[in-house]
Amino acid sequence: MKKIIKLLSGSILITLILSAVVFVSNQNQNLKVYFFDVGQGDGILIRTPSHQNIVIDGGPDNSFIAKLGQALPFYDRTIDLMVLTHPHDDHLFGLVEVLKRYRVKQVLSTGVLHTTDAYLEWLSVIQDNKINFKTARAGQTFMFAEVSLRVIYPFNDLSQRPFDELNDSSVVTQLIYDQAKWLFMGDLEEAGEEEIMATSPVELKSNVLKVGHHGSETSSAEKFLRAVQASYAVISVGAENKFGHPSRRIIHRLERLGAQILRTDVLGDIVCISDGRQIWLK
């Protein structure tokens, strides 16, 4: 009898703990955007107030999967949307393991022609698991209850097209939660920025800018930065990387325009939290 009572007590305790976890989770109506420190690469998690998960890129190694596990509740194994901006390994590699360990509902990317081992494996896992693959094109909008993610670039269907410079094929998206906006640039360079300003009907002004190409001089033209008017400029970059990112010129440009610069090589993981009106840093 004592054994049964202990078992029942243990079950009740576990139920109460799980109920408390779910209750606390449900009380949190804030949006969270994680810019993970994955070294020289990009790895982003968006956790919506309704507890849907969007991943944008996955970094150059499997450190992203560990970061993801730390940020998400242990019981949440679903990625509602995975976005690959372009198939360079510093954006792609960690996403392969995410596909294997999480239930990914939908994938968004350009489908450009590329033949690295990591990219071919990523495509193969998507196909094997029959995951819905959306070819990115400007004008698409993905709705997540109170949050939307819209595609701003590219303007053309790039599937099966070869690119000498894959950065030029980067998927650019804007996240909108009420009055708060984030702009994710991938590694898009100045020519793409010019095309967006000349072609896109979308208002580029955003509170947070994920700076293009790790702060390289090939991106972040002053005219484009003036159009965005970001209060926060996040630079995802590896410490003492061989490319010299971020460029001092870009840093000075952002400072001159009044943006607060947030660097993963200096701050580690960067977390933006928003109630739809204000944005603050964790």
**What are 57-107's pLDDT values in tens digits?**
999 999 999 999 999 999 999 999 999 999 999 999 999 999 999 999 999
Number of H helices, E strands in the chain: 8, 17
Residue 29 — very low, low, confident or very high, per pLDDT cuts 50/70/90?
Answer: confident
Q: If you average pLDDT over residues 101-124, what whole number do you get?
A: 97
User: The domain that contains 48 carries what CATH number?
Assistant: 3.60.15.10
Residue 18 has pLDDT above 70, yes or no: no
| Residue 3, domain member (yes or no) | no
Domain residue limits at 157: 30-281
Query: From CA 188, how far away is CA 191, in angstroms rounded?
Result: 8
Query: From CA 198, how far away is CA 40, in angstroms rounded?
Result: 31
pLDDT, averaged across the chain? 92
Residue 119 has pLDDT above 50, yes or no: yes
How many domains are contained in the chain? 1
Residue 16 has pLDDT above 70, yes or no: no
| Residue 1, domain member (yes or no) | no
Residue 145 has pLDDT above 50, yes or no: yes
**What are 36-51's pLDDT values in tens digits?**
999 999 999 999 999 9
| Residue 267, domain member (yes or no) | yes
| Residue 16, domain member (yes or no) | no
| Residue 23, domain member (yes or no) | no
Residue 15 has pLDDT above 50, yes or no: no
Residue 24 has pLDDT above 60, yes or no: no
Q: If you average pLDDT over residues 242-251, what whole number do you get?
A: 97
| Residue 55, domain member (yes or no) | yes
Residue 5 has pLDDT above 50, yes or no: no
Residue 17 has pLDDT above 70, yes or no: no
| Residue 22, domain member (yes or no) | no
Closest CA to 245 of 42, 87, 44: 42
| Residue 21, domain member (yes or no) | no
Query: From CA 267, how far away is CA 184, in angstroms rounded?
Result: 19
Residue 129 — very low, low, confident or very high, per pLDDT cuts 50/70/90?
Answer: very high
